[in-house]
Structure 1
Amino acid sequence: MRTRSAALAAVAVTAAAVLLAGCSSGSGGGSGSSSTPPSFGTKASGTLNAWGFNSPDEVGTSRLAYAKKKLDGVDIKIDQTAFDAQKFTTRVASGNVPDVVQMDANLVATYAAQGLIMPLDKCFSAHDVDPSSYYYPSVNDDVTYKGQIYAVPQFYQPPAIILNKKVMDAAGVTPAQINTSKPDELIAAAKKMYKASGGNPTTLGFNPVASGQPGLWILGYGGRLTDANGKPTLDDPKNEKGLEVLKKITDAQGGYAKIKSFSDSFDMFGADNEFAKNQVGAEIDNQWYVNVLAPYASKLDITAVPFYAADGKPFTVANGQGFVIPTAAKNKDAACAWAVDLTSPGAWDAAGAARAAKIAKTPGAFNTGLFTGIPSVDKKLRAQYVKPSGNEGFDQTIATFYDIVGDGKSFGASPAGQQINTELQNVISSVLLGKSSPADALKKAQASAQRAYQQATK
């Protein structure tokens, strides 16, 4: 379910991005990426129109309250709906854009290349923030295009591999055997844990979440999605290795079609999730999923290991959101101050306290941590709130995500970022279903991504 919805969203956003190219042609096209960064003042006033924070939890509401207090005198109006590229297109075309917008990091360079959002270098400097030393390098790189930063990052969700000890112990598999840098050993372990009925999987030994984590597999095996300028590089021969490994993993467990059909049926957010029902022996998941599993900790026996790159070292990728300021924003000073305040150490302190207060009122609950994109903040919140839970497996799982967060690599900021993601989904489907070789699928994907890149940068 998670991968199907992500793919549909990718198609919608990509189509809108193409439309945006036309909308921007009368206002300088791609000139925004090379223009002088606008100046920002620190005395915010007036009305601020923001778009973001769809159904905020206590982490979001506490930060919103903190920022509102910091911007006393500013009338803050928020459209609390999820980002929608078609809606953004319409608002850009009409000239009625919000002052600040929350969006996924992989969209930022697309709009930067169109000249539709402002570079924020001077926004940061006005508030005494140096992004290059403030954020994790991979987080900073994800929203930097042609040497300028275009978003205020928030959150960083690194993926790792969560292990189901019940399934592993029954099959005689150890955590050391779930090592992505040793594909043959990994596949052998997956086959020992794999179970099927009537030719259909009932337990996946190892769920690689291929359609949800394609970039992780390609980058982890030495590939690259873009060059230093954001130009797509999907046809790089080094991208083939990760796809070849994924094909072997899925073929060893009934094939990609059956794996995807089975995994799409998981009750991912419920009491009958894939770990509770022993439907997986090991699975790649982003850090937030530990929080989903925590309420069921007494029924689970989990631990975790990093995703290992081909060189045997722990590896992960940046994955998060950010706040951008449209070029046509009417109150950029307030937008800048609001975005910086929302993601400041003070705001995260408020979020940490709010999360801790909620956990304290929930029997059996424990703190799995907050991953903010800022190393110093992550370290502080971990020390203050993440305490031994009494469940050794969960504690080790939480620690694994903290251990790898500094090993992240950026997907690469590209004007064709969303199209690259869409094409990766097509590549995964074509290769894993046996319809195309990795080389042929990547060549076709490169042609499409390159057209999107040229459209965005002309």
Structure 2
Amino acid sequence: MMRPKALLALLLSTVLLATGCGAGSGASDGGPVRLLVFGAPEELAAYRTLIDAYEKKHPDARVQLVEASDRKDLLARLATSVAGGAPPDLFLMNYRFYGQFAAKNVIEPLDDRIAASEQLDPADYYPVAMDAFTWDGRQLCLPQNVSSLAVYYNRTLFQKYGVAEPKAGWTWNDMVQTATMMTRAANGAVIKGTESEGAALLPAVHGLGVEPSIIRLAPFVWSAGGEIVDDPAKPTRFTLDSPAAREALKNLVDLRLAYGVTPTDQEVEAEDDESRFANGRLAMLMTSRRATTNFRTATGFEWDVAPLPVYGKPVGVLHSDAYCMPKGAKNPDAAWRFLEFAIAEEGQRIIAATGRTVPSHVGVANSPAFLDPAQPPRNAKVFLDAIPTVRALPTVSTWPEIEDVSYGILENAMFRGDRLDDVVRQLDTETRPIFARGEHG
């Protein structure tokens, strides 16, 4: 049986043949603009709000939301449709994953359209997000958001247990201490360490949720003065064997192994961290802005966000999604008109009001559409304060595969307790060949 990664690579390898057979004529078929996305129901509702506003403003226009079940499904659908000569008119994708399509030259560059636009000025957008979607000097996609990681926290639980809320400038050790004080049994007792003294002291509330992934580890490696790869522009291997990187990695896995403040793997399988937070059983969660739409539906408690803790200096990791137009789209002009609306000031105000994005448009990001104190999080400025410090992960074409392989290794380290030396060695040996196959913009 062909593995999913091999199947995706095979589909992508046929793309150039498919796009070279007249599929890119640019003629419209008169149907709706098809936008391929994935997300939680609350995120999809945000995009429907944007589409409804666009169609109300342009009664003759139609945009169809094509929903993938998850990120892997989106990548597979896009590869299959492009190879078959029937791609969607637009797709929304994180910069970490678009490189495999950019490398195959199947994304339509937008430079000429941007230059001719009366609504878009590249100077209005955060450069770190624009740059993340530049490949070989061309602007392939236009970013809708410029998020970073933040620590969501349940203010109601903090007040209940009399623990000080996280604040700017807190350190990793501060976070560990706070998470320890917020890991509580049903009777309210603090549970310290990984061993409990009977069922009565099993955690009813965990102090922290964080996934064992490169994108969660990276900002702490950087904050400690290390690097995750040898060359951010053209990486050939991970560099997690440095003292700074090893320290950050050890501290990440010790959240579970030494301190027991994060849920076990069995608990995560039964209820993911985002659901656990929304259900009031997780005091803090390290995630990006995309969780906001879900948490705004939560009831029974008040929540807010705090910046990431630091080792040496504040450093964030970029989370940014962009609208891209594949070559061979049936309705390129109609797709551009919707993309232009979505990315320009009006569209960004609409999607920002839903809670989904930290707008890539600087003016909208600093407006009440995003900073509205009547809508949680009250401390939304945390996301804006992080923008000057955020760094992008590599956009090597094989990065999705690198993330998947490294996730499994880091998951075993956190939940199974694999030796740190073995983890670092395995990360290097299993991903170095994947780096070698990668292409760079």
| TM-score normalised by L of structure 1 | 0.73
Q: Answer whether contact 2:19 2:82 (CA < 8 A) is retained.
A: no
**Please, which of 36, 39, 50 is the counterpart of residue 52 of structure 1?**
36
**Alignment partner of 1:280 out of 265, 279, 282:** 282
Q: 1:426 aligns with which of 408, 420, 433?
A: 408
Provide the rounded CA distance (Å) in 2 between the counterparts of 1:346 and 1:88. 28
Deviation at 1:306, TM superposition (A): 0.6
Correspondence list, 1:280-319, <5 A: 280-296=282-298, 299-313=300-314, 315-319=315-319
Residue 193 of structure 1 corresponds to which residue in structure 2?
Answer: 182
Over 3 Å counting, the alpha-carbon distance change for 1:406 and 1:48 in structure 2 is: farther
> RMSD between aligned alpha carbons?
4.0
The alpha-carbon distance between structure 1 residues 317 and 329, as it changes in their structure 2 partners (threshold 3 A), is: same
The counterpart of 1:259, out of the listed 244, 247, 264, is: 264
In structure 2, C-alpha distance between the alignment counterparts of 1:130 and 1:349, rounded to whole Å: 14
Other-structure match for 1:223: 227
Partner of 1:137: 127
Q: Equivalences for 1:154-169 in 2 at 5 Å? A: 154-168=144-158
Q: 1:253: how far off?
A: 3.2
Q: More helix per residue: 1 or 2?
A: 1
Residue 328 of structure 1 is matched in structure 2 by 328
Counterpart-to-counterpart distance in 1, 2:230 and 2:15: 24
Name the CA shift for 1:73/1:451 in 2 (closer, same or farther; >3 Å): farther
- Of the structure 1 ranges 154-163 and 122-131, higher mean CA displacement relative to structure 2 is found in 122-131
CA-to-partner distance for each residue in 1:134-163, whole Å, 9 max, x for gaps?
A: 332332233223332221222344321123
What is the identity, as a one-letter code, of the residue corresponding to 1:339? Answer: L
Q: In the TM superposition, what is the alpha-carbon distance from 1:209 to its structure 2 partner?
A: 3.4
Contact 1:177 1:186 in 2 (8 A): no
Shift of 1:347: 1.9
Q: 1:453 to 1:24 in 2, by over 3 A?
A: farther
Q: Distance in 1 between matches of 2:170 and 2:117?
A: 42
Structural mapping, 1:329-368, within 5 Å: 329-351=329-351
Letter paired with 1:386? D
- Judged with a 3 Å threshold, the aligned counterparts in structure 2 of structure 1 residues 351 and 24 are, in CA distance, closer, same or farther, namely closer
SS at match of 2:14: helix
234-243 vs 415-424, which moves further: 234-243
Given the alignment of the two structures, is residue 386 of structure 1 paired with residue 392 of structure 2, yes or no? no
The AA in structure 2 aligned to 1:254 is G
Instruction: Write the letter of the residue equivalent to 2:400.
Output: Q
Which amino acid counterpart does residue 291 of structure 2 have in structure 1? Y
Query: How far did residue 379 of structure 1 move?
Result: 1.7
Partner residue of 1:373?
360
Cα distance in 2 between the residues matched to 1:379 and 1:48: 33
The equivalent of 2:187 in structure 1 is none
Tell me which amino acid in the other structure corresponds to 2:414. Answer: L
Deviation per CA, 1:169-195, whole angstroms, max 9, x where unpaired?
Answer: 565542358976343x43333333333
Indicate which of 91, 98, 114 corresponds to 2:104. Answer: 114
Q: Does the 8 Å contact 2:212/2:414 carry over to 1?
A: no
The letter for the 2-side match of 1:234 is F
Deviation string for 1:394-446 (max 9, x for gaps)?
56443434443554322232212211221331231232245544454344334
**Cα deviation, residue 382, structure 1:** 3.4
User: What is the match of residue 239 of structure 2?
Assistant: 235
1:25 Cα deviation from its structure 2 partner = 6.3
In the alignment, structure 1 residue 86 sits paired with structure 2 residue 76: yes
| C-alpha distance in structure 1 between counterparts of 2:419 and 2:76, whole Å | 34
Deviation sequence 1:293-324 (CA, Å, 0-9, x none): 34445x324443210332243x4322242222
Structure 1 segment 395-414 matched on structure 2, within 5 A: 396-414=378-396
Question: 2:50 corresponds to which residue?
Answer: 63
* 1:68–1:422 CA distance, 2 compared to 1 (3 A): same
**Unmatched 5+ residue regions in structure 2?**
184-190
Q: Distance in 2 between matches of 1:77 and 1:177?
A: 42
Greater Cα offset, 90-99 or 55-64: 55-64
1:250 aligns with 2:256: yes
d(CA) in 1 for partners of 2:93, 2:304: 32
Most deviating of 444-453 and 300-309: 444-453
| Counterparts of 1:255 and 1:53, CA distance in 2 | 34
Identity in percent? 15
For 1:81, give the aligned amino acid.
E
Q: Structure 1 residue 234: deviation in Å?
A: 1.8
SS of match in other structure, 2:264:
helix
Partners in 2 of 1:345 and 1:300 — Cα distance? 33
Task: Give yes or no for the alignment of 1:98 onto 2:88.
Answer: yes
Q: Which moved more, 1:76-85 or 1:261-270?
A: 261-270
